Structure formats: structure tokens, C-alpha cells
């Protein structure tokens, strides 16, 4: 596969984690095999579309259950080795259908470098050529990391990669909680209008930057956005590119022709209507998933299908929304939000979205709601000075005096001071 689509060469890892010198003889065989294995995959992470169709008879949940049962979790203290680094497992962060994510510490830390990372695994199953999620994730991150600084702000850094006998893995920058977790911990499980708009602006930028490199995400949802740590606590990151797809033709900006039928890719609550209809997704579909997410941040009652698992019913409710049949929670929002919904609905398969229009509408809606976009996110601590509270000593119940006694003591004290002035 050509370099422009993220060719995975036999590169080494330098002191910063990527592309170092060429010492083939020193590379362990099990680590070298990962790139050769990944090269055999197409740019979508599939071996090829025909093999994808052959495997589609088995339900995704059954596939994930088999992989989950087959793998064994790494215990804290386990050592994972790549060509140039060693990592010790600290704890399990999360687990999915095809792998797990661990918090790890780099043992050979370099001066002035962060040594705590996230390590993501994918189970190796030579008997099943399943969707190779880790390969596409690594390809996308490599491309994102090469973007200009202003365009890679919302993507984590890929630090390392490797393979053991049981799994492939990548090592990435560690981030904080997902927007989904943060939202559920908020009062009424919703953000303020100001925070919702700020989140909307950052997440639409992240999606736009992903589209810039020729990929669509296909699973935009709160669970796939996380906040940064320490000095990056105000930055929101787009994560999990396991089912991303290249929508442009190689070495061009031209959009690939849609396939006739496509299997459901995404999450029912946030999936686009085209995804429900087994139609090819493109940039407009990421934006449709994004608007569902934004509405949920503003008011969870906006998503009338939230508790439904019936795909037909969910799609029907989404059709009502885009037909202008708004639930009360959506109808109460500023008209600028309604304009965004209408605009997304107007996009064709190959349309290039006007991301600036969406951001302009968001900012205008914030002004109508008198929302301060310069304030901190709802979940960030308020460090502004607070008025001093009275430090009057408290009296215990046992020595509590009557009001009259207190008044008498005050009067006597005043007379005492007067006598000595």
C-alpha cells in the first residue's frame, strides 16, 4: 500500500517513539511480523471486501464474545517489550470485543519525557481474518501525527507499536475521562449551554481535521472523545479509529464511489440514517452522528430513541427529527441549532461540509443564551477567589449562652473600654 495511505514499513522506533534507524538484525522476529501482517490488509483495515462479506454471517456480538473468551488479561507488573522500549503494565483501563487498553509505564524513560502511556491490544487469531481494527487505528494516528500543529491538536500521539505471540499492540498518549463518563457525572446528566457549545466547537474541529486526511470515523459518540491531562485538560481528543474508512481515492481529493450495500458500522444511538439503511457513509454521516451527540449534551430528552434497541424504531425517530418534527427539548433550542440540523440533512454523499457555517451557528446560539465561551468547562474546578466567610468562633451546646447574657457581656465590655480611654 502506498505511503500516502499510511504504508506500514519495517520502520524502527527512535528516541521519541517513531521511525528510527535500520538495524534489521536486532529486531525480534515476533515484532517484525506485525508490519508484514498489517501490509496484507487494505486501507480500510479489511483483508478485502469479499472476505468481509464471508464473515458477515456471524453476528458482531458473537465475534466479540469469541475473542473476549479467547484472550487473557495482562496482570499488573507484566513486562511488554518493543524494539527499543520496555513497558510495565500498571492497570486495566478498559476492555472491548477485540482487545484491551492498559495504563503502562515506560521503563527506559528519557529525560524530560512523560513515561506513562496507554497500551491498546488486539487479539491475534490466525484462523480468522476478521476486521483488523488496530491496523487502521495505527494508520490514522500516523497520518494525524504528520498534520500541521493546528490540525493535530485533537489527536493523541502514537508512541510505539509491537507484537507478542498472543496480541498486537500500539502505545499511545494517555488521556483522561471520556465525555460520556463526564456527562453521566454531571447534575441532570447534561452540560450547561456554554459547555455544550464549547464541546461542540472542539469536536467538530476534530472531525473536520480527520476528514482533511481523507478518512471518516463512522462511530462518532461521547465515548470516543476524551479530555486531556494536566496542561491539556481543556483539549478534547477524538479516539478509537478502529472502524474508520478512507473515503477519498488514493493520492487525490476525489470521493470514492459508494458501495451498493454496507454492513451496519457504528453505535445504534448515534448511527446515521444511511448507516441504518445499509448505505455507504461519508462525511455527512459523521456530522449526523455529531449532532445527535451535541443534542444529548444540551438535553438528554432530545434523544427520544435513547433507550430503544430496535433499529427500525430508532431510524424512524431520527427521520422525524430531520423532518422538523422536533421533540419539546429540541424545539426549545435556539433556531441556529435547527439550522444546523437542516444543513446536515441537505448534504449529499460526496458533499464537502461547511464546518465554518456550523461553528458560526453554534457561536450565535451561545450569544442568544448569554453563554460565556471563555469560561471553564462545567467539570473543571472553579479557581476564582471566593468571598471570605465569617470566622466567629462557634460555641458548644454545653456552654451556649442566652441571647440576653451575650448582650450583657457586650455592654459590659463596652463600658470597660470606655473607662480606660
Q: What is the rounded distance in angstroms from the CA atom of residue 276 to the CA atom of residue 279?
A: 8
Handedness of CA 327, 333, 337, 339 (dihedral sign): positive
Q: Going by C-beta distance under 8 Å and a sequence separation of 6 or more, which residues neighbour residue 269?
A: 221, 292, 303, 305, 306, 314
Long-range contact list for 395-399, CB < 8 A, 24+ apart?
Answer: none
Strands of the sheet containing 167-173, edge to edge, are: 79-81, 86-95, 100-106, 116-123, 167-173, 158-163
Q: What is the rounded distance in angstroms from the CA atom of residue 31 to the CA atom of residue 169?
A: 10
Residue given cell 458548644 in the structure block:
396
Residue given cell 465590655 in the structure block:
413
Query: 264, 162, 167: which is closest to 219 by C-alpha?
Result: 264
Q: What is the rounded distance in angstroms from the CA atom of residue 307 to the CA atom of residue 245?
A: 28
In this structure, how many other beta carbons lie within 10 angstroms of the beta carbon of residue 138?
26
Q: Is 240 a catalytic residue?
A: no
How is residue 368 written as a grid cell?
A: 442568544
The torsion region of residue 138 among left (phi > 0), alpha (psi -120 to 50) and beta comes to: alpha
How is residue 58 written as a grid cell?
A: 456471524
Burial of 233 (0-12, 13-18, 19+ CB in 10 A): middle
Which listed residue (205, 219, 240, 285) is catalytic?
Answer: 219
Q: What is the rounded distance in angstroms from the CA atom of residue 295 to the CA atom of residue 190?
A: 10
Pairing of strands 245-246, 167-173: unpaired
Tell me how long the chain is. Answer: 421
CA dist 117 to 8, 81, 269, Å?
22, 14, 30
Q: What is the rounded distance in angstroms from the CA atom of residue 152 to the CA atom of residue 164?
A: 30
> Known binder of ligand: residue 359?
no
**Residues recognised as catalytic:** 219
Binding-site residue positions for ATP: 120
Binding-site residue positions: 120
Amino acid at each position: 500500500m502506498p505511503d500516502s495511505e499510511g504504508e506500514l514499513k519495517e520502520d524502527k522506533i527512535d528516541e521519541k517513539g517513531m521511525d528510527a534507524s535500520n538495524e534489521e538484525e536486532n529486531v525480534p522476529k515476533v515484532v517484525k511480523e506485525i508490519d508484514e501482517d498489517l501490509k496484507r490488509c487494505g486501507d480500510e483495515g479489511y483483508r478485502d471486501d469479499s472476505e468481509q462479506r464471508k464473515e458477515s454471517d456471524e453476528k458482531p456480538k458473537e465475534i466479540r464474545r469469541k475473542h473476549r473468551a479467547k484472550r487473557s488479561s495482562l496482570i499488573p507488573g507484566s513486562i511488554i517489550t518493543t524494539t527499543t522500549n520496555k513497558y510495565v503494565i500498571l492497570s486495566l483501563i478498559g476492555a472491548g470485543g477485540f482487545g484491551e487498553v492498559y495504563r503502562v509505564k515506560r521503563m527506559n524513560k528519557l529525560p524530560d519525557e512523560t513515561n506513562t502511556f496507554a497500551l491498546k491490544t488486539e487479539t491475534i487469531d490466525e484462523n480468522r481474518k476478521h476486521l483488523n481494527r488496530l491496523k487502521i487505528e495505527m494508520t490514522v494516528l500516523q497520518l494525524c501525527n504528520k498534520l500541521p500543529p493546528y490540525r493535530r491538536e485533537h489527536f493523541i500521539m502514537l508512541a510505539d507499536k509491537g507484537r507478542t505471540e498472543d496480541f498486537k499492540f500500539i502505545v499511545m498518549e494517555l488521556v483522561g475521562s471520556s465525555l460520556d463518563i463526564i456527562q453521566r457525572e454531571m447534575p441532570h446528566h447534561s452540560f450547561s449551554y456554554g459547555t455544550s457549545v464549547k464541546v461542540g466547537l472542539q469536536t467538530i474541529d476534530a472531525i473536520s481535521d480527520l476528514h482533511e486526511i481523507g478518512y471518516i470515523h463512522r462511530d462518532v459518540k461521547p465515548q470516543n472523545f476524551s479530555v486531556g491531562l494536566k496542561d491539556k485538560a481543556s483539549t478534547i481528543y477524538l479516539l478509537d479509529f478502529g472502524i474508520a474508512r478512507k473515503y477519498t481515492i488514493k493520492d487525490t481529493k476525489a470521493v470514492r464511489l459508494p458501495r451498493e450495500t454496507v454492513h451496519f458500522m457504528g453505535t445504534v444511538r448515534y448511527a446515521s440514517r444511511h448507516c441504518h439503511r445499509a448505505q455507504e457513509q461519508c462525511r455527512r454521516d459523521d456530522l449526523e452522528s455529531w449532532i445527535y451527540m451535541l443534542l444529548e449534551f444540551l438535553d438528554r430528552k432530545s434523544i427520544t430513541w435513547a433507550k430503544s434497541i430496535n433499529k427500525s424504531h430508532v431510524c424512524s425517530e431520527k427521520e422525524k427529527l430531520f423532518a422538523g418534527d422536533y421533540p419539546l427539548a429540541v424545539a426549545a433550542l435556539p433556531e441556529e441549532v435547527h439550522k444546523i440540523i437542516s444543513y446536515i440533512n441537505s448534504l449529499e454523499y460526496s458533499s464537502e461540509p461547511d464546518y465554518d457555517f456550523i461553528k458560526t451557528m453554534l457561536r450565535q446560539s451561545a450569544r442568544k443564551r448569554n453563554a460565556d465561551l471563555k469560561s471553564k468547562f462545567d467539570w473543571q474546578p472553579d479557581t476564582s477567589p471566593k468571598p471570605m466567610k465569617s470566622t466567629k468562633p462557634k460555641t458548644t451546646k454545653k456552654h451556649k449562652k442566652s441571647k440576653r447574657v451575650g448582650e450583657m457581656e457586650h455592654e459590659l465590655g463596652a463600658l470597660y473600654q470606655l473607662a480606660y480611654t
